[in-house]
């Protein structure tokens, strides 16, 4: 199954939107590099709608104890309920434990349309 979810211009880098794919609610994200990603709109923790969260960045440790760098701005999908963070550019894997991830879908851009495939 494939479905057009929006026009390319509908999302700017760092933005996301809710859509549907068949019977599933999905969240479509445009990462900081301009690429599109799509995920089941349901957090793996307790089912929160990820589209109600934010597409943001995350702190990363440095070599100096107690110091952090902010990175991946526009690439981290944060759950609105409990703050679980998923890297959209790494198949929706959780930042704290890459063993867990949100179900993802293939995305392509054809004639300025963003198409999601199941």
Q: Which whole number is the average pLDDT over 78-107?
A: 96
Q: Which whole number is the average pLDDT over 13-36?
A: 96
Average pLDDT, the chain: 95
> Quick one: which of 64, 43, 44, 65 has its CA closest to 52?
43
CATH 2.60.40.350 given to domain 2-117? no
pLDDT band, residue 3 (cuts 50/70/90): very high
pLDDT the model gives residue 95: 92
Q: DSSP letter string over 2-46? A: EEEEEEGGGS-TTEEEEEEETTEEEEEEE-TTS-EEEEESS-TTT
pLDDT of 9 higher than 90: yes
Q: Which helix (H) or strand (E) holds 69?
A: strand 68-78
Q: What pLDDT, in 10s, does the model give residues 44-64?
A: 999 999 999 999 998 887 888
């Amino acid at each position: 199954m494939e479905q057009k979810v929006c026009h390319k211009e509908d999302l700017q880098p760092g933005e996301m939107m809710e859509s549907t794919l068949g019977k599933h609610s999905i969240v479509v994200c445009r990462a900081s590099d301009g690429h599109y990603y799509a995920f089941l709109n349901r957090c793996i923790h307790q089912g929160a709608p990820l589209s109600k969260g934010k597409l943001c960045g995350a702190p990363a440790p440095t070599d100096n104890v107690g110091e952090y760098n902010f990175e991946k701005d526009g690439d981290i999908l944060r759950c609105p309920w409990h703050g679980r963070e998923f890297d959209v550019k790494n198949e929706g894997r959780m930042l704290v434990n890459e063993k867990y991830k949100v179900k993802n879908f293939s995305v392509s851009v054809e004639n300025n349309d963003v198409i999601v495939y199941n």
